[in-house]
Structure formats: structure tokens, C-alpha cells
Structure 1
Amino acid sequence: MTLKELVVAYLQYPAILLYLGLAAVGVGVWVANPAPLVQTLASVAAAILLFPVVWYVLHRFVLHSQWMYKVSWLASTWKRIHYDHHQDPNHLEVLFGSPSNVVPTVAIATIPVGWLIGGIGGAAAAFATGLVTTCVNEFCHCIQHLSYKPKNKWLLAMKTRHMAHHFHDETGNFGITNFLWDRLFGTFYGKVSDRRKSPTVFNLGYTPEVAEVYPRVSELSGGVATGHPSTRIHS
């Protein structure tokens, strides 16, 4: 796959078009209710700075949680937003997050801060920035999972770290484009030789033993992933 082919495919994905459309709406709200330049820039900067820490917290403590599958009405959500992605990291249908989860999360993370900084205009600027940042993040996520080898050293290192998260040890390298918070909280590893291979890298700890107690995800998935994601134990 070439970079051009990747960009063309990416810009045809409905969720990305939705995020860009909502970002345009945010810009429109700002035009109708503009905040002063300083407050606008501060709102944009706040959204950009918040994104990696919010992603880190959600990725580590929610998406990799051991509690969502225990709640019956959350089990299907957890399966869709992350369990399926780890079971088969190259399955494109679950590569992108669900808009029904992404849009409210971006709104909650950006709008209140933008409002405090610059009122309606600040909130609109922060929300639009959060959505654009999400699109950038998802594009880098595509680079990491699709059959494209980046020529840029930074992108290649980013892809290597994320692939290690998916195929070696899922308890580290929670960032996508930014690994600062992994470094600060001790979850970063630069080489797979730095850690032992995790036995739960494909099932996130949802083992056959766990499925006996909390069977909902297993029922929805046609079994529990063991080893390679194509290998399942059917309950």
C-alpha cells in the first residue's frame, strides 16, 4: 500500500467524514460566536494538550479494564471498542473507534475546558480541535495497522511501539502518537526484549476461566481467543 492509497481509503471512511463534518460545525459555531484570539488559541492549545492524557487514561483504565466485561450491559461495548481490536489487530472493521463513543468522549474532554477559557467560542474551538486531533490520531492508527511501512523514522518507531502493544505485551505502550504519559507512568517499553511476551496480549485477560464466570463476551464472540486470535475455545 502506498501513502496515497492509504490517504484515499482513509478519507472515504464514514466515521472520519463524520468527525470532519462535526469539526466544521464547531468552526461554524465559532464564526457565529467568536472568542477573542488569545482565548481561542488557548482553547485550541488546551484541547491538543488534553488529548494524549485523556487517551492514555481511557486506553489503560477503561479499554484495558477488567471490569467492563463483568457488567452485562457494558460487555458488548467493551467487546466492540477494544476486545475485538486486540483479538485481530488487523481487522479493519474494528480499527476505528465507534462514533457513538468517540464523539461524546471528545465533547466531554474539550467543551467544558473551552467554555471556561472562552465561552461558546472557546468551547466550539476546543471541540473542533479535539475532533481534528482524533482524525490525526486515527490516521496514524491506520499507518500502524495497515500494510504500509513509513519512511519517516518517527512514524516507523511509533508503529513499532504500537505493534508491540498488540503482539507482545498489551500492558504497556498505551499511546498512539504520543508516548510521554507511558514514560511518566512507567508503561513505556522501546524494545520487545525489554519485557516478556504477555499470554493475554490477544484476549486482554478475558480467559476461558473468566468467561465461565462472565460469559457474555464469549457468547457474542463465538468463543474465547487463546494464543493467536484465530484460535478459539468455544464454550
Structure 2
Amino acid sequence: MVVQEFTVDLNKPLVFQVGHLGETYQDWVHQPIVSKEGPRFFESNFWEFFTRTVWWAVPLIWLPVVCWFIYTSFQMGHTLPQVCLMILGGIFVWTLLEYTLHRFLFHIKTKSYWGNTIHYLLHGCHHKHPMDGLRLVFPPAATAILCVPFWNLVKFMSTPSIAPALFGGGLLGYVMYDVTHYYLHHGQPSKEVPRNLKKYHLNHHFKVQNKGFGITSSLWDRTFGTLPPSKASQKSK
């Protein structure tokens, strides 16, 4: 008995289709469709609305929150140099979190119906449609939900006066990450550093998708050995 492989209809809402791909989902989702036109996720307009986010909503919503957390540590008696160190510490921790989430959660291998469906919503959609400008940044409602456990974790691991600025720094790191990520896909950098970072990230999408998990920098890829091979080393093989 021959089982016919499932074929995704790109003209219909995708979310509840991709789960049927089973073990072939990983191959399908890593064959990018380069188009600024994003697919429809849900039949319902209500749920579809929450899947689309303009990039500027991230700094507009979260930078005032960042400022409030940082100001709270000032109010509790910390000096400017102390608060700056806390902010830098939060940004540094975020870069590790950014790498860890991207490598171990966003690129988890799935094959079950709900595993594929959740992965597609979380990150698979970005690899399938990498130029979809309305699904490049994380929806604010989802970010707000995730902020709650992270805030509680920061409070648990630090003092009441340090926690706000440390968390504010981490949240600032997230804002920088999301804005940078959008720019790497849609910006046209003229200077060397952002131009190289754009090449580095697009290489992850279109050539070596199991390496290069850093977005704002290659620091943790270098540290943990997931740096993509250079062109020179590829040619020598």
C-alpha cells in the first residue's frame, strides 16, 4: 500500500496544513520562498491579525517599558555608573539567550502534527518566508506573556534594586535584536560591519541553516563552535 505524500496548498491558510507533512516538514520548511508577500496563516481574520506586526511597534511599545525599569533602579538609590553596568549586564545575558533560543528551541527537529504546527508558528514560518516583513518581529502580546516568567527569574536571582535595571537591559537587548533582525532582512547597509552581519545572517537562511545562530553578533557562535565555515575552507574541501 503506497501512502501519498501530503502537499501544502500555499493558496490556503498554512498553519493547520503543515502538521500533516510529518517527517518531510523539516525539508519543506527549509526551502525558502523569497517573496515580500506573506502567506495567510488562519482562516479567521481575528487570529490572522495577531500574526502580523510592523517592525516599529517593537521600539514604540517596549522602549518606554525599558526606561521605566531602568528609572526604578535609579529611584532605589543606584548611581549612573552602577545602572549602566546593570544595563550592559542585561544586554549581555540577552545575547546568550538570543543564541540559546535560536539554536535549541527555534531549530528543534519536529515531525508530529502539533510539533510541526507549533514550530511553524514559532520560527518555521520565518525560514519558509524569510522576507515576510510583517512576521519578522515577535508579536507584542506574546512578548508580554514571556516577560512575566523572565521578570520573576531576574527578581529571584538578584536584589530588589538591581533587578529592574538588569531586566530593563535584557529587554533593551531584545528590542535591539528584533530591530536588527528586521534591518538585516530589509535594510541595505553601506558600512562594512552591518553589511557583513547581513551576509552572516542570510547565509544562515539560504546556505548553512544548522549554523550561524547569532543575530546581533557572532560571539556565541564562535564560543560554542557553530560558526559557519568560511568560503576559503569550503573551497579547499
TM-score normalised by the shorter chain: which range applies? 0.5 to 0.7
Identify the match of residue 170 of structure 1 among 188, 200, 209. Answer: 209
Could you say which residue in structure 1 is the equivalent of 2:88?
A: 45
- Where does the alignment leave 5 or more consecutive residues of structure 2 unmatched? 1-52
How far residue 130 of structure 1 moved from its aligned partner, in angstroms, is 1.5
In 2, Cα distance between equivalents of 1:24 and 1:143: 23
Could you say which residue in structure 2 is the equivalent of 1:93?
A: 134
How far residue 19 of structure 1 moved from its aligned partner, in angstroms, is 1.4
Determine whether 1:59 maps to 2:102: yes
In 1, Cα distance between equivalents of 2:116 and 2:66: 30
**Following superposition of structure 1 onto structure 2, how do residues 209-224 of structure 1 map, counting pairs within 5 Å?**
none
How far residue 153 of structure 1 moved from its aligned partner, in angstroms, is 0.7
How far residue 63 of structure 1 moved from its aligned partner, in angstroms, is 0.4
Amino acid at match of 1:87: K
Could you say which residue in structure 2 is the equivalent of 1:160?
A: 199
Amino acid at match of 1:24: C
Q: In structure 2, do the counterparts of structure 1 residues 114 and 126 end up closer, same or farther at CA, with 3 Å as the change threshold?
A: farther
Q: RMSD of aligned C-alpha atoms? A: 3.1
Q: In structure 2, do the counterparts of structure 1 residues 71 and 12 end up closer, same or farther at CA, with 3 Å as the change threshold?
A: closer
Amino acid at match of 1:172: K
Could you say which residue in structure 1 is the equivalent of 2:160?
A: 120
Matched pairs, number: 183
Amino acid at match of 2:76: N
In 2, Cα distance between equivalents of 1:70 and 1:37: 51
In 2, Cα distance between equivalents of 1:138 and 1:19: 11
Q: In structure 2, do the counterparts of structure 1 residues 182 and 125 end up closer, same or farther at CA, with 3 Å as the change threshold?
A: same
In 1, Cα distance between equivalents of 2:232 and 2:150: 36
Deviations 1:65-104 (Å, cap 9, x if unpaired)? 014x6473x6544322211110011001110023344345
CA contact (8 A) 2:55 2:136 kept: no
- Where does the alignment leave 5 or more consecutive residues of structure 1 unmatched? 1-9, 197-235
> What is the aligned-residue identity percentage?
23
Q: In structure 2, do the counterparts of structure 1 residues 77 and 51 end up closer, same or farther at CA, with 3 Å as the change threshold?
A: same
- Structure number with greater Rg is 2
In 2, Cα distance between equivalents of 1:140 and 1:77: 25
Q: In structure 2, do the counterparts of structure 1 residues 39 and 108 end up closer, same or farther at CA, with 3 Å as the change threshold?
A: farther
CA contact (8 A) 2:208 2:228 kept: no
Q: Compute the TM-score of the two structures, normalised by the length of structure 1.
A: 0.65
Q: In structure 2, do the counterparts of structure 1 residues 85 and 155 end up closer, same or farther at CA, with 3 Å as the change threshold?
A: same
Determine helix, strand or coil for the equivalent of 1:141. helix
